[in-house]
Structure 1
Amino acid sequence: MMWIRCGIAMVLPPRGARKNSLRRPTYAQPRRLGEWAAAYGVRNFIHISSPAVYFDYRHHRDIKEDFVPNRYANYYARSKAAGEDVIQNLALSNPQTHFTILRPQGLFGPHDKVLLPRLLNAMRKHGTLLLPRGGDALVDMTYEENAVHAMWLATQIESTPSGRTFNISNHQPRHLHTLLQHLIDELGVKCKIRSIPYPMLDMMARGMEKIGANSPKEPALTHYGVAKLNFDMTLDTTRAQLELGYHPIVSIDEGIIRTAHWLKDHGRLQNRDRH
């Protein structure tokens, strides 16, 4: 019989996915993969969730893993929470497999298909990034290599309770405008960050969502996306540090530099007029 040590489940919705299309991948697949892992003797199962389960349109700093909002921000957050419940129930009924849940905040790096495409599109089209409060929101980010490092650490330690949840980030909260300006500088493009009142940007986003309600394509702005740019959100990663031994192996600044170099080396800026 083949011996399998570890399984890692990271289920992401396709960009522009609507409510009905999200239900299956974010809820059913964790159960299917977790049951398969337990049935075939996988020793460690790592489930990648999201800090979206914390978001409630308010400022929060140093959020601990046990924080639960009064209501989830949207269907995506609710489905992520449901996926975690599935994994925790599997952990209770399948002691032969050790389950771990990771919540990495703000994943970025080469090959990113969520955050970077939107930023680059705004740079190409307008040469301007409009941010609520001018990007003053304090946020946590996670360079992709650090997330992979956290996954590896989770496979090496089985002393934690099965089904345990861990916040993951770079441990380096920064103001959003600082992070984006660093990326702009490293890319060498002419792009200005401009401030726009949050209520105004939110009104624009709601209008775009209403107009595009019957379209499979996600609008350029969404109510949820604009709110994420407006509110402070940082994670307390003490549990991951103490129980997994997690510490970032790539700094936030180095991660931005590597990402910018990759974008330039792979021609991702070729449609943007250089200045």
Structure 2
Amino acid sequence: MVVKTTANDVATENRTCVVLGGRGFLGRSLVARLLRLGGWIVRVADSSSHSLLTDPSLASDSLLSNALCSGQASFCHVDVRDTSQIIKVTKGADVVFYMEPTDLDIHDFYNCYLIIVQGAKNVIYACRECRVRRLVYNSSADVVFDGSRDILDGDFSFICPGKFKDTLIDLKFHAEGLIRLANNIDGLLTCVLRPSNVFGPCDTQFVPLLVNLAKAGLSKFIIGSGENMSDFTYAENVAHAHICAAETLGSRVVSVAGKAFFITNLEPIMFWEFVSLILGGLGYPRPYIKVPTWMVSCIVSLHQCSHENLHNHNVSPHYMLRLASRTRTFDCSAAQNHLGYSPVISLKDGINSTIQSFSHLANDTFYTKFNEQSKAEKMLGGGIVADILLWRDERRTFACFFVLVLLFCWFFLCGRTFASSLADLLLLVIVTLYGHGILSSKLCGYAVQEIPSSCFQVTVSDVQKSLRSIACIWNRGVRRITTLAKGEDWCEFFKVVFSLYLIKYMQSYSLAVPFAMALVYAFTAYFVYDQYEAEIDAFRLLMFCCMVELKEFLWRYLPLPISSSLQNDNVLHQPKVAARVKEWK
């Protein structure tokens, strides 16, 4: 038997329902949908605050405020760890929707256990004590996913791993089992829903996490191949599924009670395409640089080892890594056939609505960056040299490259000494200039242009600019020598040592080798960097983060005096590191 939820079906009588966790992300959507359908007296129960605080700018809160005034809704502070509070709010209720909180600290295992597992036991006990007939529990598709393998069209027969590395998922799996085992005891009918990757307005986890990664300059990376598919579910569709489940349980359908159903938007999409749509809609760079999963996993592991006392996340980084790199799609046909569920909001509309709700987090400066000079052009001064080395004028660039190749061959490949090559070159130039001077103004019908004297003159400003450049280079060298003499910068010391060893190594070969490398480098490196600036900067940032994490990891195993000295040096240069990361972003 299939039961579909419509406004006409539910408006015939007023039934009382309790939404435990009604002020959470999904709880808000469920409360708003129940009030819009009508025919429900909604008791909003939550442990977030003792008094109801509403935001008039949110449509759901505005609807709730009106319902509170009309008596269609009420609010009660309930802590699921206290059975007496749950009993008080569930007396006389027909349905209990249990939406447990998601903003839990995964490192406080005892509190998580009390809220998730013991809370589920308390809710079951209160429902049986108050003779509640229907209990719908919001679980998650995460309870069948441990990241060890891909899931393609997983259905209700999919075997749960039973053991998870993520604390919240492990506890939620046990709570789901308790809810299902409580079915048909003392007349209580239960049903479990497993939505996959829920998103929508008021999301406190997924979308804010993406924005934080984008602000940190990490939104450019795709972990793995980027081809993995995922099912995402809009929050209002999850709310609709809960109401469908409650209606079906009320019809005493045997095939629903005690069962678990996957809930999706029925529109599988590539995970990184979904991320691109969200970030692109908010004005942040879309992911486009593919990074091996093992590399990111190593960086995450190093970070956790180096910052074991700095855990502020409520989501396991390793779990997010597996979620972003694995295929995870589910078969929602059981919910369609037995619950009468079908999405009420399409994936496209859900994404647009989510982007609009997070407009306060949008990046307004992203699109203006395309009108700025590239970093390669800034490094080259943005003049004629930049145009030549960046191949803006191909004829001029090729002519300069050809002339430089000829000079290279003249000085290094002709078999003469440098002095004799220079003398021969000057002699050739003098003969050419003198010959040009005695040519007639017309030669074979072509006019011979005179060389203006300005070509042989150097202006005062050019001399001053050259002297300033030389002085700048000299002062920079003096500052580095001073820094080395004071022993203030380990990084600078290793840079100088590496440079000297490189020069020593190059001196063992002919001078032709470094000059040839410099010539090829000048006409290729800047051009490549100009074309792939974002990719190269992103790779440099990734390598820099990896080296920083590795350094902090090694510090933990160094003797205390050495590690203290290095830590103090690191504190002194924190502004430099932050500035470098900001520049690469």
Tell me the TM-score normalized by structure 2.
Answer: 0.44
Q: Deviations over 1:137-178 (max 9, x none)?
A: 100010000000000101111214422111001011110121
Q: Who is 1:268 aligned against? A: 361
* Residues paired across the two proteins, number: 271
1:3-36 per-residue CA deviation (whole Å, 9 max, x = no partner) reads 3121111213425421513222221111111221
Which residue among 103, 112, 116 is the counterpart of 1:14? 103
Matches of 2:311 and 2:120, distance apart in 1: 25
Q: Summarize the Cα distance change of 1:236–1:148 in structure 2 as closer, same or farther, 3 Å threshold.
A: same
What's the CA shift for 1:273?
Answer: 3.8
- Cα gap change, 1:54/1:235 in structure 2, threshold over 3 Å: closer, same or farther? same
Contact 1:150 1:168 in 2 (8 A): yes
**CA distance 1:227–1:85, change in 2 (3 Å):** same
State the partner residue of 1:236.
331
Within the candidate set 247, 256, 259, 1:164 is matched to: 259
Change (3 A) 1:143 1:68: same
Q: Does 1:61 align with 2:173?
A: no
Contact 1:132 1:195 in 2 (8 A): yes
- 1:82 to 2:155 alignment: no
Deviation at 1:194, TM superposition (A): 2.3
In structure 2, do the counterparts of structure 1 residues 173 and 66 end up closer, same or farther at CA, with 3 Å as the change threshold?
A: same
1:126 deviation in Å?
1.0
Match of 1:26 in 2: 116
Match of 2:349 in 1: 254
Equivalent-residue separation in structure 1 for 2:195 and 2:286 (angstroms): 28
**RMSD, matched Cα:** 2.2
Q: Residue 244 and residue 18 in structure 1: after superposition, are their counterparts in 2 closer, same or farther (change >3 A)?
A: same
Identity of aligned residues (%): 21
Q: Which of 227, 234, 251 is the matching residue for 2:322?
A: 227
Q: Contact between 2:229 and 2:271, CA under 8 Å: does it hold in 1? A: yes
Q: Bigger CA drift: 152-161 or 206-215?
A: 206-215
Is the 8 Å Cα contact of residues 134 and 189 (structure 2) preserved in structure 1? yes
Please list, as runs of the form range in 1=range in 2, the aligned pairs for 1:159-238 lying within 5 A after superposition.
159=253, 160-218=255-313, 222-238=317-333
SS of equivalent residue, structure 2 residue 358: helix
Shift of 1:123: 1.5
Instruction: Confirm or deny: 8 A CA contact 1:134 1:193 kept in the other structure.
Output: no
Preserved CA contact (<8 Å) 2:144 2:161: no
Could you say if the C-alpha distance between residues 145 and 198 of structure 1 is closer, same or farther in structure 2, counting changes exceeding 3 Å? same
Q: d(CA) in 2 for partners of 1:16 and 1:195?
A: 31
2:231 pairs, out of 133, 140, 154, with 140
Match of 2:145, SS state, is coil
1:231-273 CA-to-partner distances (Å, cap 9, x unmatched) read 1011111110000011111111111000001111xx2337x64
User: Which position in structure 2 is the counterpart of 1:45?
Assistant: 135
CA 1:13/1:186 → structure 2, altered by over 3 Å: closer, same or farther? closer
Structure 2: 5+ residue stretches without partners:
1-89, 368-585
Q: Which letter does structure 2 place at the counterpart of 1:166?
A: F
Following superposition, the deviation at residue 69 of structure 1 comes to 4.0
Q: Which has the higher strand share?
A: 1
Which structure has more helix as a fraction of its residues?
Answer: 2
What residue ranges of structure 1 are gaps of 5+ in the alignment? none
Q: Report the secondary structure of 2:313's partner residue.
A: coil
Change (3 A) 1:209 1:5: same
User: Residues 50 and 102 of structure 1 are in contact (CA less than 8 Å); yes or no, is this contact kept in structure 2?
Assistant: yes
| Matched position secondary structure for 1:182 | helix
TM-fit CA distance, 1:97 = 2.1
Rate the CA distance shift 1:219–1:22 in 2: closer, same or farther, 3 A: closer
Distance in 1 (CA, whole Å) between partners of 2:184 and 2:233 is 30
Contact 1:208/1:220 (8 A) holds in 2 = no
Change (3 A) 1:90 1:115: same
Q: 1:194 to 1:79 in 2, by over 3 A?
A: same
**Cα gap change, 1:177/1:84 in structure 2, threshold over 3 Å: closer, same or farther?**
same
Are residues 1:114 and 2:209 paired?
no
Partner of 2:78: none
Further displaced range: 150-159 or 62-71: 62-71
The 2-side partners of 1:15 and 1:191 are apart by 30
Give the distance between the partners of 1:135 and 1:221, measured in 2 at CA: 21
Secondary structure at the aligned position of 1:29 is classed as helix
Greater shift, 175-184 or 220-229, is seen at 220-229
Partner of 2:182, secondary structure, is helix
Question: Could you state the TM-score of these two structures normalised by the residue count of structure 1?
Answer: 0.90
Q: Which has the higher contact order (CA 8 A, sep 6+)?
A: 1
Residues 1:123 and 2:214 aligned together? yes
Give the partner amino acid of 1:254.
D
Residues of 2 paired with 1:134 and 1:240: CA distance? 31
